Amino acid sequence: MKDIIGNKQLKVLTPGKIGGLELRNRIIRSGCFEGMCPGGAPSDALIDHHREVAAGGAAMTTVAYCSVSFDGRAFGHEIWMREEIVPDLKKITDAVHREGAAVNIQLGHCGYFSNKNVIGRRPIGASRKFCTFRYAFAHEMTEEEINRVKEDFGKAAQLAIQAGFDAVEIHGGHGYLLSQFLSPYTNMRKDRYGGSLENRMRFPAAVIKHVRETVGPDFPILIKMNVSDGFKGGLELDEAIEVAKRYEAEGASALVPSGGFTAKTPFYMMRGRIPLKEWIQGPKSVFEKVGLRLFGSILVQTYPFEEMFFLNEARKIKDAVSIPCVLIGGICSSDNMEKAMQEGFDFVEIGRALIREPDLVRRMERGDWQASQCDHCNRCVAEMENGGVWCVSKVKGQYKG
């Protein structure tokens, strides 16, 4: 099998290494919430989803999103890590390994945008903050809760290893809990966890250090982090660079610079069309449906799609650290991937293009794939809440409206 398109050799199809893990190429399926875990446990559909990506040639696929705590979930069909589901998770890792790929699991906590109807209690967060995404206030975490969640990250990583995962990706971006501590928008604390960047980094850095101590020196720890929250008053690039340096110091094996805030700028991290109509039709309460109809177009901002949309900011993160850096965001062609390699990125993470065409890597190897057919309609995002992620355009034809 040749790693060429035409006569051009592609570096992205050569092996790469993260921590002690060697990958067969440099293409990783990014963590995208699949919506295939009824009751918080993996389903056969989730196994098939990731097996198909592995069979399609990706070096590593990422199971997402897995909450480290019961109270860290946004949906009832979202994984939360516990001993009872390790045998089911092992079915995923075994299926992926049989196809010759590695498998990663994304660990996180939703914090203030956890769903109180799912967790049965008021959400926790960096500070008391109203979440427009959930129409609810979170309460400010106590030091005891901070320590408990830190321990939960370590326990989740241990269980991931028991389940056969080759790596973990700690979700430190997109407005998830660790990101909420970093962002001035959600962190208004007056104690040692708030105020200066050094204080705001204290909890996320402690989590990474604890996970590193838990898994040992060589096990790969990827960190998804924000280059920007995507709005004034949030985390900006200059602070993100310092965060990246701290994460490296605390034991990160690789960084995945992304951006956006789930509860405020959710499509900053994806770009393209907002599937508001499909979103409203999903399994939501009457209150949520009415709210989306009245205010959805105001609350959810549109960001035009462009290829490699995080490149400029991610380049500055890459230049500030010595560990591998993974480019994500709008990578939808072999030329995009090769440009990422030329820019000095070690890997690329791809989401929507692999949802549309899970075999694109094998086709690249054969020389018959140059660009994704994904039209960035983002209807796959709405499907995450409606039985599981899939490419609607692929089956029903391109979006016309």
Give a yes or no: residue 313 inside a domain. Answer: yes
Give a yes or no: residue 184 inside a domain. Answer: yes
Q: Pick the range with the lowest mean pLDDT from 138-147, 285-294, 297-306.
A: 285-294
Confidence band (pLDDT; 50, 70, 90) for 394?
Answer: low
| CA distances to 27, 163, 348, 374 from 13, in Å | 8, 28, 11, 21
Q: Pick the range with the lowest mean pLDDT from 93-107, 187-201, 271-285, 309-323.
A: 271-285
Give a yes or no: residue 245 inside a domain. Answer: yes
Give a yes or no: residue 51 inside a domain. Answer: yes
Among 85, 242, 224, which residue's Cα sits nearest to residue 156? Answer: 85
What proportion of the chain, given as a percentage, has pLDDT over 90? 72
The pLDDT score that the predictor gives to residue 398 is: 39
Q: What total number of domains does the chain contain?
A: 1
Angle at 109 between CA 106 and CA 113, to 5 degrees: 125
Residue 2 or 254, more confident: 254
Residue-number span of the structural domain to which 386 is assigned: 4-396
For tokens 């109203």, the residue is 130
Give a yes or no: residue 256 inside a domain. Answer: yes
Q: Pick the range with the lowest mean pLDDT from 229-233, 287-291, 343-347.
A: 287-291
The pLDDT score that the predictor gives to residue 401 is: 27
Burial code (b: 16+ CB inside 10 Å, e: under 16) for 16-43 equals: bebbebebbbbbbbbbbbbbbbeebbbb
Q: What pTM does this model have? A: 0.90
Q: Pick the range with the lowest mean pLDDT from 255-259, 343-347, 352-356.
A: 352-356
- Report the distance separating Cα 194 and Cα 182, nearest Å: 9
The torsion region of residue 253 among left (phi > 0), alpha (psi -120 to 50) and beta comes to alpha
Residues identified as active-site: 176
* pLDDT exceeds 60 at position 293: no
Give a yes or no: residue 40 inside a domain. Answer: yes
- Copy the structure tokens of residue 52: 């198909």
Give a yes or no: residue 401 inside a domain. Answer: no
User: In CATH, what number is assigned to the domain containing residue 196?
Assistant: 3.20.20.70
